[in-house]
Amino acid sequence: KFSCKTASETLRWISAILQFLESYRFFLDAHLVNFFKDRLWEKVDVEWMDCLRNESVESLLRIPSGVVQDHWPASLKQYVLTLDSLSLPRDQTDLQEAFQGLKIEPLNTVVSQGMNRKKKHEIETLSAVVSSVAGRVGAKTIVDVGSGQGYLAQVLAFEHGLSVVAIDASPHHGSVTAARSLRIEKHYAARKNKLGLTNKSFVSPKTVTCRVQSPSMLKDVLNCTIPTGSVGNSVMVPRDEAEPLLHDSASALRTNAGSSFLLAGLHACGDLSVTMLRTFVECEDVKALVSIGCCYNLLSEEDDDGHRGFPVSRGAKPLCSVLGKNARDLACQSAERWKCLEEGDGFHNFELHAFRAAFQMLLFRYYPETLDGRSLPSVGRQGKTLRRRQHQRGSSHLASKESSEEPSFLAKRYSGFVEFSKSGLRKLGLPESSSHIEYSRIIWHEAEIYFELIGPYWTLRAALGPVLETALMLDRVLYLQEQQEGSLLIEEVELVSVFHPFLSPRNLALIASK
């Protein structure tokens, strides 16, 4: 049983994960598009593949969630169960128990306009958590880092009555946030007047358009407010001039003397979440941090400037070799969503991966000029659209595993691959030729006999996703715990599963306070 209550316990957990992963480097370094071309299944235990090739789609999809079958080889069961034991739990925490006095209120239709079910669940929950933590530490201003269209910032401002600054790199997001805030403010002002709520106050979030590339840059933003007379409560800092402009703008900006901040990030991408951690450590005025990471594939692992995104803790650095982009991509896999897929949808997922891998082999053999140094030309999104269209037409219906081997089904699968490859070649700018059908036939004839192996391989590899994310999150926890052991007065560091994992798989919030 692992724990991350202390730095030594967290380091022991990280060490166990990294030691386990070393034996499965072939999974971490692989990319599924090369499944047929590089015969990736041959690197997996033959006994495992022989067993799983006959398993139902449902059983395969439950592997990333740690579910095993009694008749499996002992080594396979050990692999799946060990991964499960090394992973952080994802079931939603009892937030009422974790945060005293927490109130999660349903959002009204005005402030929730434009939110889908997932986003509404995230904003309702996280805004309540942020408000609770801010109240506990006495933070006067919430800084929403990587604010996107400002959903979190607006709910914190209008529903929780907090002072909020929303920072995002996109000028479009900044203008959308400002315009949306203005509409919401008018509604709340009208409602306030109608109900005579003279004692209830709210202020629109201030928006800052700036690409935050370092803790010093974020600290400069924190030390400044919006210039007097700025339009729409927003300011833009040009990307190329961001750091010098922020350093030299003291005379133009009003300083936030005596301010206290809480840094909040809802799925702040890549290194941005790590920059938030460093800013929390380096900036005395930042009293709390609530960070939910995302886009691990965008994390940097190079150490050119000393600000890499992984590993960030001193303890993990000597233990780690480079994970690589493929492994960081894998950390984004959602075991909860795969477990809940219906059999037909799961099969379509495997089929799509098979089509893309066969198409890669077709490009490698007959159209090598399309690779041109790019091992992975992008055609996947178009492939998903094609498969969704076929699914809606019912042209690839899966009634059972047995039906997938019927001649009529095999013919439809071949036709599906031909259509997929035509679509992919068009996206790569290649005109259709009379030889294309023949190329597709040859490739599919070679690939199809291994089709039943792609599901087992994919799920065995996907099972590494939760433990990879665990390693990334524990590294961040350890970084803060190391500061705790020094002179920095960090009172609390914890990981909390704040969202329902099916609605929002990236649900681990790193919460710290001084």
CA distances from 357 to 34, 259, 306, 365, 414 (A): 6, 54, 37, 13, 14
Burial of residue 213 (CB within 10 Å: 0-12, 13-18, 19+) is middle
Measured distance CA(405)–CA(412) in Å, rounded: 11
Each of the 514 residues of the chain gets a pLDDT tens digit; together they read: 899 999 999 999 999 999 999 999 999 999 999 999 999 999 999 999 999 999 999 999 999 999 999 999 999 999 999 999 999 999 999 999 999 889 999 999 999 999 999 999 999 999 999 999 999 999 999 999 999 999 999 999 999 999 999 999 899 998 899 899 999 999 988 887 777 776 667 789 998 988 887 888 888 877 765 443 343 466 666 555 444 433 333 333 344 556 799 999 999 999 999 999 999 999 999 999 999 999 999 999 976 566 789 999 999 999 988 899 999 999 998 888 888 888 899 999 999 999 999 999 999 999 998 887 655 666 755 555 555 555 554 444 344 455 555 667 788 899 999 999 999 998 888 887 889 999 999 999 999 999 999 999 999 999 999 999 999 999 999 999 999 877 678 989 999 999 999 999 999 999 999 9
The token pair at 209 is 């358009």
- Characterize the bridge pairing of strands 163-168 and 234-236: unpaired
Name the region of 378 (left: φ>0; alpha: ψ -120 to 50; beta: rest): beta
- Domains (ranges, CATH) in the chain? 32-67+337-462 (no CATH), 95-329+465-513 (3.40.50.150)
- Predicted model pTM: 0.88
